[in-house]
Amino acid sequence: MKIFPKLWSNKTKDHNLFIKIKGLLGYMPKNKNVYIAAFTHRSMNIKNLDGKPQNFERLEYLGDSVLSTIVASFLFEVLPNADEGKLTRMKSKIVSREKLNFIGKQMGLLDLLVFSGKKDNLGDDVYGNLLEALIGAIFIDKGYETCKSILKEIFFKPYIEIKTLDKEVISYKSLLIEWSQKQKQNLVFETEADNGKDPSVNFYCKILVNNKVVTKSRDLSKKKAEEKAAKKAHRILKI
């Protein structure tokens, strides 16, 4: 049984999708249905001829695992003297949500998504999700070795700089907490729901050091509000 049977789809839209994918990847997809699924949002409620839901979520799961393996292999090859700890830290930075979101946005993947509603409401994580779904589609269509070669050209070469990667910060919140522990400073994150006028901003975070307010930030989620505030505090405190 095929993993991705024939879909009910619009031939004109599909053709445009394949042309854009060819521009991104350098080849015309062979298993076209898997790429259609990779850029279909669950809100479309599309089903294949077997009656099963067809969207990018399963491919996102697969792509996440494939990318993790390929990144681990890549680092193992390019950093022959790195120990397990450094390899793990470097891998975490490459596959971080922020990094994947950035790459997915730079690749323009949201333009390919079929979505029922305003794409502006999807949030930044959709870029990384689509990138993982695309990787899952490449893996199914081309196999592991070819997928690895393609990612070398469209992922590693343009977006991953090993020489500067070690200096990149994954989480300013973690960095701030580590600093406060080393310096024996009393650090407090006060985060609560924000019921302000802007419906897109749901959380408010205030950071205090030794009972003094250092900075404040608002954002869509608790995690993002805290990370934004921590980044500002990192700059203000000159850590």
| Helix axis angle, 125-142 to 97-106, nearest 10° | 80
CA triple 127-94-142, angle to 5 deg: 70
Q: What is the dihedral of CA 235, 156, 101, 119, to 10 degrees?
A: 140
Task: Specify burial of residue 225 (Cβ count, 10 A radius: 0-12, 13-18, 19+).
Answer: buried
**Lookup: tokens for 108:** 């323009």
How many Cβ atoms are within 10 Å of 129's Cβ, its own excluded?
26
CA triple 80-81-83, angle to 5 deg: 110
The phi, psi pair for 208, rounded to 5°, reads -120, 140
- Residue numbers annotated as active site: 64, 132
Task: Specify burial of residue 30 (Cβ count, 10 A radius: 0-12, 13-18, 19+).
Answer: exposed
d(CA 71, CA 92): 10
